[in-house]
Amino acid sequence: MFVIIAGGGRTGAQLARSLLSENHIVHVIEYRKEVLARIHKELPTEVIYPGNPLDTQILEQVGIKEANVFAATTTSDAENLCLCYLVRERYKVKRTIARVNNPRDAWLFDKKFKVDVAVNQADILSRLIEEEMSMGDMMTLLKLKRGKYALVEEKIPSGARAVGAAIKDLNLPTNCVVAAIIRKGEVIVPRGVTTLEVEDEILAITDNDGAKQLASILGVSN
């Protein structure tokens, strides 16, 4: 996948490092001298392109016509909106992602401005806090299908209603599948007749509502 990132600040640089570690092709556009000096120490020189991302000559120089994804991560919401609109309308980039700096501007980041995905950090933190509070000790290991599903982990405590119960008798949520059980360091492929023990680590794939129900099923009875 070929990704162009506009903005080499902390967010853009971290995104670039993550994508490069997954062997994607990444080009980063940045014009601020102090930021350029820093990211040259953090990223391979060949992925860094000095210049203003709003300059179409710079965009074409970095390969915008071949890009699969464009990520606007500058510190200006106006610039991020303009960039997404420009690259979709002029260069037909298939996927655009924009950083939302001011939560009050979030309503602008939609299809009208050619933004496919808006990353609002305040909203993400709020959702994470709400999710963590609702699921107790359950951990989210991996998000799937753009966050609709997740791989979650829950350790069964002493006194839990699920101890000694077979998986088939747990009345699991409809959108929930127990994928594996880790017991004393060994991975067990679960069957319907598999019974659960104290300290079992349950790995399950489920949606958000299912995760809440699963946490209740595997938790301690009140």
**pLDDT attached to residue 67:** 95
Distances (CA, A) of 5 to 59, 67, 79, 158, 176: 10, 10, 13, 49, 36
* Domains of the chain by start residue, with CATH: 2-121 (3.40.50.720), 131-218 (3.30.70.1450)
Note the pLDDT tens digit of each residue in 159-209. 888 999 999 999 998 889 999 999 988 899 999 999 999 999 999 999 888
> Judging by DSSP bridges, how do beta strands 117-120 and 95-100 pair with one another?
parallel
Above 90 in pLDDT, residue 119?
Answer: no
DSSP H or E run through 213 = helix 208-218
Query: Does residue 172 contact residue 217 with C-beta atoms inside 8 Å?
Result: yes
Round to whole Å and give the CA distance between 126 and 134.
12
DSSP H or E run through 61 = helix 56-62
10 Å CB burial of residue 187 (0-12, 13-18, 19+) is exposed
